[in-house]
Amino acid sequence: MAFEFDADAMFKQCALYLSKGLVLVRVHGIYPDGRCTCGRPDHAIGRSGERNVGKHPVGDDWGNRCATTEDHILEWLEDGIPFNVGCRLGPDGGVIDSEDDSVEARNYRKSIGMDGLETPTWTSGKSTHQLTKWDDRLADCKGTDTPGGLEVRIGAGNKAIQSVLPPSWHRTGVQYQWKPGFGIDEVDVAETPRPLLVALSNGAGRGAMRPTEGPASAMLFGEIPDGKRHRAILRWTWYKIVNQRNPLDRLQQEILTREVMLLSQHNCTPAADPDHVRQIIADCYEHYRRKVESGWRVGDEDFSDDSVVNEVTQIEQAAAADTAPKRPAAGSGFELYGLKKVVTSKTEAYEPGDWRIEMIHSDPPEIVLCVPAWEMTPCKGRIHMSLDTFRSAPKVAAAVFNATRLYILDGDAGKWQKIWKGHDACKGNGFKSIPGLMELLLQRKREEDDIEVGTSSLRYAQLAGYVLQVFRKATQPRNEENPEPNESGRPCWVAPEELWFQWGKIWEDISRSHDVAPGERNRIRSKLTEAMGCKDFVHRRHRFQSGRLEYVVFTKEWVEALEALAAGAGNNWTVKGDADGG
C-alpha cells in the first residue's frame, strides 16, 4: 500500500545510518490519503503544492535539531506521525549529494566518471542520487550548484540543506530505494571525484554563465529541453523585470506573468509545471523588492547578461536557503495569487486555479475561501464569510483584506467586479455570458470538503476559540508600578491573575475575520457564566484622564472555563462528514 509507514523498518534504517556517521533530519511524511504531515492544505497529492509533499524538514529550526543517536529516533516515533528521513549535508553532515534528473545531468555524470563510482547510491522518482564525502575545498561554494546540469547539494556557506533517504516515500507512490550493490551497508562513502571538485570550486562565489546557456533571450527562440527549463525561465523573468519602467505595477506584473507562463508552456519540452513557474516569478519579484528597499536602483550595467546571471545566482541561493513557505507580494497580480487567466471571445476572465471553497454547515452557514498563496498571512489562507458576503464582490474583497491584512483585490473595482461576478452577454464576448469566480467556485466545490457542524456545542467551541485567539494577544501593563488596562478595551493582564478587557471590543476584533450571528456572543456569555456558577461576568471600572471605563475581569479560572468550552469534542469543532456520528 502506497505511503504505508513501517515504524520498525524506519528505525532499523535510521540506526544503520547513524552507525555510518550520518546526521539525520526528520522530514515530513505522507499520510495514506496523500496529504503531507505538515498540515498545509495545498501540500497534498493533486493539489498545487504537490511537489513539496514528503520533502521538507519538520520545523523551521530543523538544522539545529538533527538526530545523532537512536534515542532521538525513538523520540520521533513517539507521536505516531509518519515521517520521511533525510541526512544533513555539508561540513556538519560530512557528505554531499549529487542528483541527476535530466539527460544532460546523466551525460555529465558519465563524462566525469561518476556513473561507475562505488559509493552509496539510491533512486527517488526518476532521479539517481550519490553520496560522496565533504571536502574542505568546497567551503567557499554555494549551498547548491548545477555543473553540467547535475544538481549537487553541497551545504556550504552555513546553508542547512538535506537530502531524503530510503525508505522514505516519494510523492509518486514509490519508495526511495538503494541501488542493488550500492547500499550504505554495502559500500563506503567515496571521496568526491576531483573533476566534480574542480567544477564546483571554479563556480564558487561567482555567477559565471554556463557555456551552454546563451543569452537570457534564448527563452524566446527554439525549445528549452528538460534540465534547462528552470534556469531559462529564471533568467528571462529577471531580465524582463529589470528592463521594465515600473516592475512593481500590478498591470506590468500581470503582463509579465502571462508572458512567462505562455513561454514556459510553448517553448519548454516538456512544458514547465505552472506552479513552479509562478514560484520562480514570485522569487524574482521578491528579490527585486528587497534590492529596491535597500536603496538599489537599476543602472545600465544591470541589463548585461553577466549581471543577469549574477542576480539569478543570488535568487537561487536565497531560494535554496529559505525552506519556509513564501507568499506573493501585495499587488503582485491575480495569476500569482493562484488564479488562471483565460480569454473567451476576446474577453479576459479568470478561472479558480488553486482557489477553492468549503461550506461550513453551521448556524448560520459559512463559506471558507481557501487560497494556498496566502497561507503565510494571519488567516492561514482561509477567509471565512457569510453567504451574503460571498455573493458580493466588494464584500469579498473587504473580507480578504481584513483577513490577510495584505491583499487588496478591488484596487480596480470594476475589474474585480467582473472577475468575481462574471461578464454579461454583449457584443464583445459574442453575446455569451461569462461566469465569474463566484459561480465557478460553487461549480467546483466538492462535497467531501464540506464541514458539518452538527451540534450547537461545536459552534460554541468555534466561538470560544475565536475569543482565545484574541486573548493570546493580551498585553502587559506599560507601567508595572501603576498597572492599568488598555484604554482601547483590548485584553491586558493588569495583574498576574487578572485579565481586563471590554467584551464588545473582543467581538469587534473577531468580526473583522469571522462572521458571528447576532446573539451568538450572548450565548457564549451564558455558557461561561453557567460553567462558573455565576449570574454575570465580574465588572470593574478604571479612571483615565479621558474618563471612567468599565471592563470585564477574568481570573485564570474564567480563562480555563473558556478553554474547556473551546476544546469541545476533543477540540475538533470542524469535522468532515456527519458531526453527530450518524
Cβ pair 42, 48 in contact under 8 A: yes
Residue 332: inside a domain, yes or no? Answer: no
**Which region, left, alpha or beta, applies to residue 3 given φ > 0 means left and ψ of -120 to 50 means alpha?**
left
Q: Note whether 248 and 285 are within 8 A (CB).
A: yes
- The model's pTM: 0.43
Give pLDDT tens digits for 422-433: 888 787 767 788
In a domain, 582, yes or no: no
Pick the closest to residue 192 from 142, 102, 120, 85 (CA basis). 120
**Phi-psi group of 173: left, alpha or beta (phi > 0 → left; psi -120 to 50 → alpha; rest → beta):** left
Alpha-helix residue ranges (DSSP H) falling in 162-215: 194-202
For residues 464 and 440, state if they share a domain: no
Shared domain for 44 and 187, answered yes or no, is: yes
Is residue 312, in this structure, part of any structural domain at all? yes
Residues 27 and 157 in one domain: yes
pLDDT number for residue 322: 53
Residue 335 lies in a domain: no
User: Would you say residue 468 lies in a domain?
Assistant: yes
Residues 108 and 153 in one domain: yes
> CA–CA separation, 159 vs 529, rounded Å?
53
- Which of 452, 481, 513 is where one domain is finished? 452
Runs of H (alpha helix) within 453-519:
456-471, 503-511
- CB distance 579 to 458 below 8 Å: yes
E strands, 125-178, where?
Answer: 127-133, 144-145, 151-153, 162-165, 177-178
CATH code assigned at 524: 1.10.10
Pair (509, 545) in one structural domain: yes
pLDDT digits over 310-369, tens only? 888 888 777 665 544 455 655 556 877 888 888 776 778 899 988 999 888 766 788 989
Task: Answer yes or no: do 36 and 116 share one domain.
Answer: yes
Residues 440, 465 within the same domain: no
In the chain, which stretches have pLDDT less than 70? 1, 202-215, 222, 226-227, 319-333, 345, 362-363, 429, 449, 451-458, 517-519, 568-582
Collapsed DSSP state (helix, strand, coil) of residue 119: coil
Number of helices (H), then strands (E), belonging to the chain: the values are 16, 24
Q: For residue 366, give the nearest of 383, 345, 387 by alpha carbon.
A: 387
Spatial contact of 75 and 65, defined as CB atoms under 8 Å apart = no
User: Are 144 and 12 contained in the same domain?
Assistant: yes
Report the C-alpha gap between 9 and 40 in whole angstroms: 27
Q: Per the domain annotation, does 331 fall within a domain?
A: no
C-alpha distance from residue 336 to each of 243, 393, 567 (Å): 20, 20, 37
Please tell me whether residues 82 and 108 are part of one structural domain: yes
Task: Give residue 333's pLDDT.
Answer: 67
Q: Given 137, 172, 202, which residue is the final one in a domain?
A: 202
Domains of the chain: total: 4
* Final residue of a structural domain among 452, 478, 501: 452
Q: What is the pLDDT of residue 113?
A: 87
155 close to 90: Cβ distance less than 8 angstroms: yes
Q: Tell me, yes or no, whether 330 lies in a domain.
A: no
pLDDT value for 580: 29
Range of the domain at 289: 216-321
For the beta sheet containing 177-178, the strands, ordered from the edge strand earlier in sequence to the opposite edge, are 144-145, 151-153, 95-100, 127-133, 121-124, 177-178
Q: Do both 151 and 117 map to the same domain?
A: yes
Q: What is the pLDDT of residue 518?
A: 59
Domain check: are 185 and 111 in the same one?
Answer: yes
Residue with cell 473577531: 510
Q: Give bridge partners of residue 492 from the DSSP assignment.
A: 475, 500
3-state secondary structure 448-463: HHCEECCCHHHHHHHH
Residue 208 lies in a domain: no
Instruction: Give the pLDDT confidence score for residue 433 in this predicted structure.
Output: 84
Q: What are 263's three cell numbers?
A: 513561454
pLDDT score for 220: 73
**Same domain, residue pair 179 and 95:** yes
Which residue blocks in 82-154 are alpha helix, DSSP H? 103-111
Give the residue from 365, 547, 368, 386 showing the smallest Cα distance to 445.
368
